């Protein structure tokens, strides 16, 4: 499956949106990739994860780690695919979000998870990388736990995401999902806020933004059915 086919699959499952969204970074986005509609399709998800981890078969991966919650299945799927044809056990773990932490933080708080990372070569697998806030926090969590990050892989990523930007040896994405981004302070000046474009509240972090800015002049909309 090439990049065009991956994008077509994401579009077919309703994962790609255009509009006015708020990212976890608090930046304003002119588009969004939501992998959730894809997740019930187990066969397709497995194929995509295999495509990602195949790029890291020669990197000595000992543990596959993912950030909670949406990417949790990627850790076990990724480890399972890497073990096919190998007699080496590869572990799979995820890191939980630290509630209320600003900026975003993760922690290996479940029994045995930190041990599965310490001293290991770790591949981090994510679903979508937007502004790199979460993935950078995940990379830090792995390193703080004593793991060596051999690379990062994702189903999709926005422009600007690279191995250099993430400070990792290797980065692989199956699909580029690119859209304009504005810092919170810039959007009212030259972004979608200045144009009065309604903010989507039920995808991304628009609901949190609404709580802080209930009087936003452009208003709020929902795209998902109840």
> What is the pLDDT confidence band of residue 224, given thresholds at 50, 70 and 90?
confident
- The single-letter DSSP state of residue 54 is G
Contact 142, 125 (CB under 8 A): no
pLDDT digits (tens, 9 = 90+) for 22-52: 988 789 999 999 899 999 999 999 999 999 9
pLDDT digits (tens, 9 = 90+) for 176-223: 999 999 999 999 999 999 999 999 999 989 999 999 999 999 999 999
Rg for the chain, CA atoms, rounded: 18
> What is the pLDDT confidence band of residue 226, given thresholds at 50, 70 and 90?
low
Burial class (CB in 10 A: 0-12, 13-18, 19+), 133: middle
Can you name the residues that pair with 66 across neighbouring β-strands? 94
Domains and CATH numbers, the chain: 3-221 (3.40.50.2020)
Contact 15, 33 (CB under 8 A): yes
Give this prediction's pTM.
Answer: 0.89
Q: What angle do CA 31, 21, 127 make, to 5 degrees?
A: 65
Q: Where are the beta strands (DSSP E) in the chain?
A: 16-22, 28-33, 63-67, 91-97, 106-107, 121-129, 148-157, 171-176, 181-182, 199-200, 220-221
Separation between Cα atoms, residue 223 and residue 201, nearest integer Å: 8
Separation between Cα atoms, residue 19 and residue 29, nearest integer Å: 8
């Amino acid at each position: 499956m090439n990049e065009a086919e991956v994008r077509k699959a994401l579009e077919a499952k309703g994962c790609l949106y255009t509009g006015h969204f708020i990212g976890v970074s608090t930046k304003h986005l002119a588009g969004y990739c939501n992998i959730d509609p894809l997740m019930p399709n187990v066969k397709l998800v497995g194929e995509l994860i295999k495509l990602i981890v195949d790029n890291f078969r020669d990197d000595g991966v000992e543990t596959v780690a993912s950030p909670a919650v949406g990417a949790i299945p990627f850790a076990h799927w990724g480890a399972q695919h890497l073990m096919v044809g190998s007699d080496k056990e590869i572990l799979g773990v995820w890191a939980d979000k630290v509630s209320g932490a600003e900026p975003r933080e993760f922690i290996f708080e479940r029994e045995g998870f930190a041990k599965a990372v310490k001293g290991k070569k770790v591949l981090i697998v994510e679903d979508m990388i937007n502004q790199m806030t979460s993935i950078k926090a995940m990379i830090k969590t792995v390193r703080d736990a004593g793991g060596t990050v051999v690379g990062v892989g994702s189903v999709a990523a926005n422009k600007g995401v690279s191995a250099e930007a993430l400070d990792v040896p290797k980065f692989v994405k199956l699909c580029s999902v690119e859209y304009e981004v504005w810092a919170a302070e810039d959007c009212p000046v030259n972004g979608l806020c200045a144009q009065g474009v309604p903010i989507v509240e039920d995808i991304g972090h628009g609901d949190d933004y609404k709580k802080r800015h209930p009087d936003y002049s452009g208003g709020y909309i929902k795209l998902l059915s109840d």
